[in-house]
Structure 1
Amino acid sequence: MLKFFSFSILFSALLVSCTTNSISYSKSKKIPVFTDEQLMDKVQQDALKYFWDFAEPHSMLGRERYHEDNIYPQNDKNIITTGGSGFGLMTILAGVDRNFIPRKEAVKRLTTMADFLAKADRHHGAWSHWINGETGKTVPFGKKDNGGDLVETAFLVQGILTVREYFKNGSPDEKILAKKMDDLWKGVEWNWYTKGGEKVLYWHWSPNYGWEMNFPLRGYDETLITYILAASSPTFPIDAETYYNGFTRNGQYLTAHKKYNLPLYVKHNGSEEYGGPLFWAQYSYLGLDPTGLSDKNISNYFDLNRNHVLIDYQYCVENPKKFKGYGPNYWGLSAGYTRNEDGSTGYTAHSPINDNGVINPTAALSSFPYTPKESMDFLRFIYTQKPQFIGSAGPYDATSINYGNWFTPRYLAIDQGTISPMIENYRTGLLWKLFMNAPEIKNGLKKLDFKSTKYK
């Protein structure tokens, strides 16, 4: 179990948990001044706790949510989320690589996860959005959403592949773990989700309702990684035409629109003026390295994502709705918990066109590779100036200075799980290197005419 001390006004937790660099103090006051490295260590350790200490105890995978206020929907404590668990796998790898958790303990736990996923319900190889962590049975996400969820499966498989790559040349136990992860990846029937050979992937399939949800994956949004993995599959692949016809709409998703003099490059679904919520620049890119990455339509995916984040940042600095607190140190709009008009907690996809004065810390913290200075300013501000926004697993999911320093003492796996991997990609490129050097991914990217200046 990870051990953390509570965060006090003197930031004693940071003093205890930071493992690199010595602590200095300001000359005017005896208040510790933390280095950037110490702050990144701290938030990565905190985010890891969600998937290490608060994991579902049978499967050891990530719970859909964790509420410090102990308010749970009925029977919710054993619901695991597939996508968030994929992000959790990558969070654990970062923890192993930074010696936050013992390697042998991580291998043991990851093996338990792999064994659980091998026995859990699958729908033509895809897992459902929610799974009962005790039984492995599908838990409906909605009435007709009681089968395979290809996008959540892709987020999970992104993590599965990085685990395989990390341990494949290790000890005997590590090689066994890598083989189990390899078998899980190869079992996903990506091409089934073209609904009989249509040149587009579909999000859902149900054993009871078939294709009735009828949600084709068309960009631009968070689902790019689904096409990358489907094209890369050695067992059930899609062809390049499915990607270009499906996700890129045969190039029709391109745009010449600019905001704050920054090109968007693509039409973000539902938010073509500003770009969508910031998780669209994160979920597909925990493993997929956008640096120097291009295809037939996009000359540099890093520029696309950086501009997306900078537009969000500039919007928050401009603050057209005059929300208290918004500015260079407090910004970032993404999906997550929110504050309803009556003061209760809800959920929404925050963006410049859906801004209600609530900041989800995952937005700025998971943008470190694109905006290191702006993200560090946010990290330093929230940990040193707003300790009430920090809980046992790091920054709470939703915060608002505008509403009297309101916050919800709750976490979501899908939000907490992107923080450490994206910070690690900024610091060392660990997850990017693992994913991009996987042989199947190299072949899949080549099939889709992607080119990378970093990975040959």
Structure 2
Amino acid sequence: MVQKQTFNYFYEGAEPHSGMARERINMDGIYPQNDKNVVTTGGSGFGIMTLLVGEKRGFISKRQLYLRLRRIVYFLEKANTYHGAFSHWYNGKTGQTKPFGTKDNGGDLVETSFLFQGLLCARQYLSAGGKREKALANRINKLWENVDYQWYTHQKNVIYWHWSLKYQWQMDFPIHGFNECLIAYILGACSPTHSIDKVVYDEGWAMNGKIKRNSNYDGIPLQFFHQGDLPNGGPLFWSQYSFLGLNPFGLRDQYGDYGQECVNMAKINYQWCVDNPKHFVGYGKNSWGLTASYSVDGYAGHAPNLKSDLGVISPTAALSSFPYTPKESLSALKCFYYKLGNKIWGKYGFYDSYSETANWYPQKYLAIDQGPIAVMIENYRTRYLWQLFMSCPEVKKGLMKLGFSYKIPED
């Protein structure tokens, strides 16, 4: 039921011209929604994987899935790109970039990588089909081959997040240390046309080995330096976004074990909410989950530390951790549905966030938070998206190039 309701955000709730995921959908009517045409690139990548779940679960037919994937691909073929990379946001009617910020009006390589994590899963699915499905898979390949990961190194040994035709490299965001962006380095190494060298991964992501850093919370250890120097780990989307298709279990390199890091991040997040050092109302064994989401005052990256914990629970945090903490996630799901009920449950599943302390229950959805829910529940149940993504030949080659050992998940 949770998968089906959440799936509908990306099917019934999609922007109709492009088929892409709307950045947000507000159900409460408190704030005027002037951005119904704004679609999100990364959220659409998550949405594509959710559509695949929908077909597997029987929510839509194979034909309905094909038609929706075709609409999305045709839109992307005509959308503005920047050395093959897509922008964070688009106008879904026109394919024109909608700036995410003044200088963030060009290519966003991280959002692009989230998109292609989904598109490559779709390509693998389509490649097993008939003539028309294979033709669509080939169109996805052309989009994939156009992404110039080399360009986004700015001729240095690190990947840069942004580039703009007008502002060039002024956003100046090199990606270092553990966060949600691992998939950009993985796909950069996997690219069949513009592949990055291993030294870019070693010096950029891994910071010449400085990514290795031991810390722990309540005896639960972490292996990596988390961006922003967070010894208890970052918000839980860091353990989810890159691992919707990329299977973290068995994923190891010279710096550490990514599956163990993801599991322990979720365990720490859970234990922090049980300990509840700031004494917020409602926190406990059945109500937990801190990640980036709507917050009582705007938007915030909630995380298990005194500064970042604002008393806001985001259902996506616990639900998208099902592969890591199945018992704790199931307890949260039951609490969210049976205890909080219609306060946080609506047309497209659980709303983005809530605070019992503030008596705050906004009826709002965000694509990037809804997207991981159905996908990670499915990965817990059947490993489906992990199987599709890890079956890509170029993914296998890229992981080997970077020195990873990995597993192809079984049913």
User: TM-score when scaled to structure 2?
Assistant: 0.97
* Alpha-carbon shift at residue 172 of structure 1 (Å): 2.0
State the distance in 2 between where 1:68 and 1:423 align.
24
Q: Are the equivalent residues in 2 in contact too, given 1:258–1:264 (CA < 8 A)?
A: yes
Equivalent residue, structure 1, for 2:331? 377
* Alpha-carbon shift at residue 269 of structure 1 (Å): 1.1
Equivalent residue, structure 1, for 2:185? 227
State the distance in 2 between where 1:73 and 1:204 align.
30
Q: Are the equivalent residues in 1 in contact too, given 2:251–2:405 (CA < 8 A)?
A: yes
1:176 is the counterpart of 2:128: no
Aligned counterpart for 2:67 among listed residues 108, 115, 129: 108
* Alpha-carbon shift at residue 455 of structure 1 (Å): 6.4
* Alpha-carbon shift at residue 422 of structure 1 (Å): 0.6
Equivalent residue, structure 1, for 2:293? 336
State the distance in 1 between where 2:247 and 2:334 align.
26
Equivalent residue, structure 1, for 2:81? 122
* Alpha-carbon shift at residue 70 of structure 1 (Å): 3.4
* Alpha-carbon shift at residue 271 of structure 1 (Å): 4.3
State the distance in 1 between where 2:94 and 2:32 align.
19
Q: How does 1:359-378 map to 2 (within 5 A)?
A: 359-378=313-332
State the distance in 2 between where 1:72 and 1:409 align.
11
Residue identity in the other structure for 2:401: K
1:292 is the counterpart of 2:292: no
Report SS of the residue matched to 2:101. coil
1:432 is the counterpart of 2:380: no
State the distance in 1 between where 2:30 and 2:117 align.
31
Q: Are the equivalent residues in 2 in contact too, given 1:437–1:455 (CA < 8 A)?
A: no
* Alpha-carbon shift at residue 75 of structure 1 (Å): 3.8
* Alpha-carbon shift at residue 61 of structure 1 (Å): 0.4
Aligned counterpart for 1:446 among listed residues 397, 400, 406: 400
Equivalent residue, structure 1, for 2:56? 97
Equivalent residue, structure 2, for 1:26? none
* Number of residue equivalences: 407
1:136 is the counterpart of 2:91: no
Aligned counterpart for 1:398 among listed residues 338, 353, 376: 353
1:350 is the counterpart of 2:302: yes
* Alpha-carbon shift at residue 403 of structure 1 (Å): 2.3
Q: Are the equivalent residues in 2 in contact too, given 1:291–1:454 (CA < 8 A)?
A: no
Q: Are the equivalent residues in 1 in contact too, given 2:211–2:255 (CA < 8 A)?
A: no
Q: Once the two structures are superposed, what CA deviation does each residue of 1:216-265 show, in whole Å capped at 9, x if it has no partner?
A: 01111000000000000001110111001100101101112111111110
State the distance in 2 between where 1:163 and 1:70 align.
35
* Alpha-carbon shift at residue 288 of structure 1 (Å): 0.6
Residue identity in the other structure for 1:349: G
1:411 is the counterpart of 2:368: no
Report SS of the residue matched to 1:100. coil
Q: Are the equivalent residues in 1 in contact too, given 2:247–2:409 (CA < 8 A)?
A: no
State the distance in 2 between where 1:234 and 1:311 align.
38
Q: Are the equivalent residues in 1 in contact too, given 2:247–2:407 (CA < 8 A)?
A: no
Gaps of 5+ in 1: 1-41, 341-345
Equivalent residue, structure 1, for 2:220? 262
* Alpha-carbon shift at residue 72 of structure 1 (Å): 5.5
User: Residues 313 and 184 of structure 1: is their aligned pair in 2 closer, same or farther, counting only changes over 3 Å?
Assistant: same
Q: How does 1:8-407 map to 2 (within 5 A)?
A: 42-70=1-29, 75-195=34-154, 197-298=155-256, 300-340=257-297, 346-353=298-305, 354-387=308-341, 388-404=343-359, 406-407=360-361
Report SS of the residue matched to 1:411. strand
Residue identity in the other structure for 1:224: L
User: Residues 110 and 72 of structure 1: is their aligned pair in 2 closer, same or farther, counting only changes over 3 Å?
Assistant: farther
Residue identity in the other structure for 2:73: A
State the distance in 1 between where 2:381 and 2:152 align.
36
Q: Are the equivalent residues in 2 in contact too, given 1:337–1:398 (CA < 8 A)?
A: yes
State the distance in 2 between where 1:245 and 1:455 align.
29
Gaps of 5+ in 2: none
Q: Once the two structures are superposed, what CA deviation does each residue of 1:261-292 show, in whole Å capped at 9, x if it has no partner?
A: 11110011124221000000000000110111
Equivalent residue, structure 2, for 1:16? none
State the distance in 1 between where 2:40 and 2:32 align.
15
Q: Are the equivalent residues in 1 in contact too, given 2:390–2:408 (CA < 8 A)?
A: no
Report SS of the residue matched to 2:25. strand
Report SS of the residue matched to 2:300. strand
Structure of greater Rg: 1
User: TM-score when scaled to structure 1?
Assistant: 0.88
State the distance in 2 between where 1:165 and 1:296 align.
29
Q: Are the equivalent residues in 2 in contact too, given 1:278–1:351 (CA < 8 A)?
A: yes
Report SS of the residue matched to 1:452. coil
User: Residues 73 and 152 of structure 1: is their aligned pair in 2 closer, same or farther, counting only changes over 3 Å?
Assistant: farther
Report SS of the residue matched to 2:365. strand
* Alpha-carbon shift at residue 173 of structure 1 (Å): 2.1
- Coordinate RMSD, CA, aligned: 1.2
Q: Which moved more, 1:281-290 or 1:382-391?
A: 382-391
Equivalent residue, structure 2, for 1:32? none
State the distance in 2 between where 1:397 and 1:454 align.
32
* Alpha-carbon shift at residue 74 of structure 1 (Å): 6.5
User: Residues 308 and 431 of structure 1: is their aligned pair in 2 closer, same or farther, counting only changes over 3 Å?
Assistant: same
Q: Are the equivalent residues in 1 in contact too, given 2:386–2:409 (CA < 8 A)?
A: no
Report SS of the residue matched to 1:80. strand
Report SS of the residue matched to 1:61. coil
* Alpha-carbon shift at residue 402 of structure 1 (Å): 2.0
Report SS of the residue matched to 1:164. helix
State the distance in 2 between where 1:186 and 1:96 align.
27
